[in-house]
Every structure is written in structure tokens, then in C-alpha cells.
């Protein structure tokens, strides 16, 4: 049985399929093959090793499968260029389509390739990590990293469809699963207090949690609604920027620590802790108890709330200043007035930020 949620974007609307079999995906590939649209698949070395037989069963020629090294460093100009050359060497034309089989790194990289090859070809998302299922595969943000910062090069390019199958979570390492939980918690904090309370009631969220299908779907519902209202993050306040709760801090941590030291969700978890503390200072309606509830939930699910090792405050603030979410009016943070109600906020005194950095283990 397949459950469907539509992301409403006028002529760029598309379905998210939630299912436990591959019938819809295989039918899609079959139909593309029938009209001679060349299908390509991009994945990483670890996933290819785990799911080679599965990939071969999809009906995509093995010569059309491109494998990048596992991990965040593959979200690079180098791998981007190599995949473009791979497509060109196989004479891929504007009717060609790309399937991104992997987590957030693969989805972002493959999506940006699709957005730019021949000025744009179609692509589909097959997320294999919790983080990708609840967040990065939905909404059309694609991109790669530069040494200067995360996702500084990219494009808004919506997929044709997203195929979410929880079977892939069974082989997901525990720390990778926890990385996705950080994004799940984010959705409760920014938009749904009752959903956040539901997460509080679960002692430890695992891949076999009976309510996980509804949790994944709720995250996708929230993101689909936000994206439909502000697809390209151009709203002067709030809008799609709210999805970046914890990310201004988290991206800085990833950049300064060196891509690979932190899983994305680990850095975001520390960023959420910082955002909670800043919310306490900014809004009297967000209490210390709210922060404590959030940090306890993060820790209970295997996520850090402090830096793994000291990082330079100066370097962290420099990274924040390069963040793509900033506007001419200043650095934009996402804060909570209350749990379940987030707002964007600018004009925060750097001295306050420095004090908070110290609380999580950064140094002068």
C-alpha cells in the first residue's frame, strides 16, 4: 500500500510516496525506459555495497550508475564536475533523468547536477537516511559545499517525485539515525507543539518504532506546507527560513570543525541547543524549562548538545557571517517564542552570541 502526500507548487508540484515496496518506483523507471528516457543513478560507495542487488533490480543499466565516496566531502566541486562529465560521456540528453539513491549528501549533489546539466534535467529522490526522508529530499534545495562554507553553491530544483521506503533505515548506523532525529525535533519546535510533545513521550526513537511512519509523514507535511508558501526563501521574515532552526550555528560548526568531524544532525543538535538558549534571552515566553526539555530529548536520542572539542569563537563567527541565509540587514537567526512557534530574528548582539558559544565549549 502506498500513501501519497503532494507538495503543492503549481506546475512544479510533485508527490511524496510513502510505501514499503518498490512497485511505484519500478513502475516509474519502467515507464521512462519505455519512452527511451535514459535513467541514471547516483549513489555512494557504502550504499552500493549494501544494496547492489537492489539497485540492479530497478531496471537502470549498471553503466549508468555513478558511485561517489561515502560522506560529506563528496558534496564538492570535484565530484560535481566528475558526474557532469560522466553524463556527457554517456551522451545524456535533455530527456535523461537522474535518480538520487542515498542520504542528504547524495540528494543535494545529484539534485544540483540535475539542476545544471544542460540547464536542467529531471530527477527523483530515493532517500535512504532518516535525515533525507524527513528533510533534505523534500523542497528542492540542492547544492555543494565550498571550503568557505556549507551549501554556498546550489540551486532550487524540485524533484519529480520522492520515494520514501523505511526498509533502508534498517541498515542505517545508529549515529546516522540519530542525525535525522535532530531534524525531526526541529519540526516540532518550529511548527507543532503537540508533535514535539509526542516526541517527548517516546523514550528512544528507533527504526522499528511503531509510530515512525507517522513521524516521518508529519515532518514532510510541515516542510511541504512551508515550501509551498515560500519556495525560494525570499520572505522578508519567517517563511522557509524557519526550517533553518539551529542551522546558522550548526553550519558554522561543520565548517570550522572540518566537514566530516560532525554528522550534519550532530552539528544541528548543538545549534538547536544554542538557539534555545538564545530564545530564552530574546523571548520571555520561551523558558529555561523549554530548553531543558529540548536538550534532554536530544541527549536521549544520542545527539550532542556541546562541542566535541573546543573551536575558535572568532572562526565560528566568521563562518556565520558567510552563511547564505544572511541578509543585508544582518545575520538571521531562527528562534522560538514558544515551543512550536518559531520566528526569524536579526540584530542580535555579537557579545551575546560569544557568551553562548562559550557555554557549549568554544574558546576565544
Q: Does residue 228 carry a pLDDT above 60?
A: yes
Instruction: State how far the Cα of 273 lies from the Cα of 250, in Å rounded to an integer.
Output: 10
pLDDT of residue 327: 66
Domain total for the chain?
2
Last residue of a domain, one of 171, 187, 217: 171
**What CATH number did the domain enclosing 45 receive?**
3.40.50.1970
Any domain includes 364:
no
Q: Which of 70, 122, 150, 183 is catalytic?
A: 183
pTM above 0.75, yes or no: yes
Instruction: State how far the Cα of 108 lies from the Cα of 99, in Å rounded to an integer.
Output: 12
Residues 243 and 295 in one domain: yes
pLDDT of residue 295: 98
Instruction: State how far the Cα of 296 lies from the Cα of 363, in Å rounded to an integer.
Output: 24
Residues 119 and 194 in one domain: no
Q: Which of 186, 247, 273, 345 is catalytic?
A: 247
| 119 in active site | yes
Residues 181 and 55 in one domain: no
Last residue of a domain, one of 110, 145, 171: 171
Q: Which of 48, 64, 218, 223 is catalytic?
A: 223
The string of pLDDT tens digits covering residues 232-253 is 999 888 899 999 999 999 999 9
pLDDT of residue 308: 96
Any domain includes 105:
yes
Residues 243 and 100 in one domain: no
Domain coverage including residue 285: 174-359
Residues 211 and 151 in one domain: no
Any domain includes 33:
yes
| 183 in active site | yes
Task: Provide the percentage of residues in the chain whose pLDDT is more than 90.
Answer: 91
The string of pLDDT tens digits covering residues 321-340 is 987 666 656 789 999 999 99
Last residue of a domain, one of 119, 147, 171: 171
The string of pLDDT tens digits covering residues 96-106 is 999 999 999 99
Q: Which of 122, 151, 165, 244 is catalytic?
A: 244
| 223 in active site | yes
| 233 in active site | yes
Any domain includes 223:
yes
Any domain includes 256:
yes
Residues 120 and 43 in one domain: yes
Mean per-residue pLDDT, 40-56? 98
Q: Which of 264, 273, 325, 345 is catalytic?
A: 264
Tell me the pLDDT band of 173, cut-offs 50, 70 and 90.
Answer: very high
| 240 in active site | yes
| 244 in active site | yes
Q: What is the mean pLDDT of the chain?
A: 95
Amino acid at each position: 500500500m502506498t500513501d501519497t502526500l503532494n507538495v503543492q507548487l503549481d506546475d512544479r508540484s510533485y508527490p511524496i510516496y510513502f510505501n514499503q515496496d518498490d512497485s511505484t518506483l519500478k513502475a516509474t523507471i519502467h515507464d521512462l525506459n519505455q519512452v527511451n528516457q535514459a535513467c541514471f543513478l547516483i549513489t555512494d560507495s557504502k550504499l552500493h555495497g549494501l544494496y547492489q542487488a537492489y539497485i540492479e533490480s530497478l531496471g537502470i543499466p549498471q553503466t549508468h550508475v555513478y558511485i561517489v565516496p561515502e560522506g560529506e566531502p563528496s558534496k564538492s566541486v570535484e565530484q560535481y564536475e566528475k558526474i557532469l562529465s560522466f553524463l556527457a560521456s554517456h551522451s545524456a540528453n535533455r530527456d535523461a533523468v537522474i535518480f538520487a539513491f542515498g542520504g542528504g549528501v547524495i540528494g543535494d549533489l545529484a539534485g544540483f547536477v540535475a539542476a545544471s546539466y544542460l540547464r536542467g534535467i529531471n530527477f527523483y529522490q530515493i532517500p535512504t537516511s532518516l535525515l533525507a526522508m524527513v528533510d533534505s529530499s523534500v523542497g528542492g534545495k540542492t547544492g555543494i559545499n565550498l571550503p568557505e562554507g556549507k551549501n554556498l553553491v546550489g540551486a532550487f530544483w524540485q524533484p519529480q517525485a520522492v520515494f520514501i521506503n523505511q526498509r533502508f533505515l534498517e541498515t542505517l548506523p545508529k549515529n546516522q539515525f540519530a542525525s535525522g532525529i535532530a531534524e525531526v525535533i526541529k519540526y516540532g519546535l518550529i511548527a507543532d507543539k503537540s508533535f514535539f510533545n509526542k516526541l517527548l513521550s517516546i523514550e528512544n526513537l528507533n527504526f522499528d518504532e511503531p509510530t515512525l511512519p507517522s513521524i516521518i509523514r508529519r515532518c514532510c507535511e510541515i516542510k511541504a506546507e512551508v515550501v509551498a508558501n515560500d519556495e525560494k526563501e525570499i520572505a522578508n521574515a519567517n517563511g522557509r527560513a524557519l526550517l533553518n532552526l539551529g542551522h546558522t550555528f550548526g553550519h558554522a560548526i561543520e565548517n570550522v570543525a572540518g566537514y566530516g568531524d560532525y554528522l550534519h544532525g550532530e552539528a544541528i543538535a548543538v545549534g538547536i541547543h544554542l538557539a534555545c538558549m538564545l530564545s530564552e534571552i530574546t523571548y520571555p515566553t520561551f523558558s529555561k524549562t523549554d530548553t531543558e526539555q529540548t536538550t534532554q530529548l536530544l541527549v536521549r536520542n544520542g545527539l550532542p548538545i556541546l562541542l566535541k572539542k573546543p573551536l575558535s569563537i572568532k572562526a565560528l563567527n566568521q563562518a556565520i557571517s558567510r552563511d547564505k541565509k544572511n541578509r543585508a540587514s544582518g545575520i538571521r537567526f531562527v528562534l522560538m517564542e514558544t515551543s512550536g512557534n518559531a520566528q526569524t530574528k536579526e540584530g542580535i548582539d555579537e557579545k551575546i552570541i560569544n557568551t553562548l558559544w562559550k557555554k557549549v565549549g568554544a574558546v576565544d
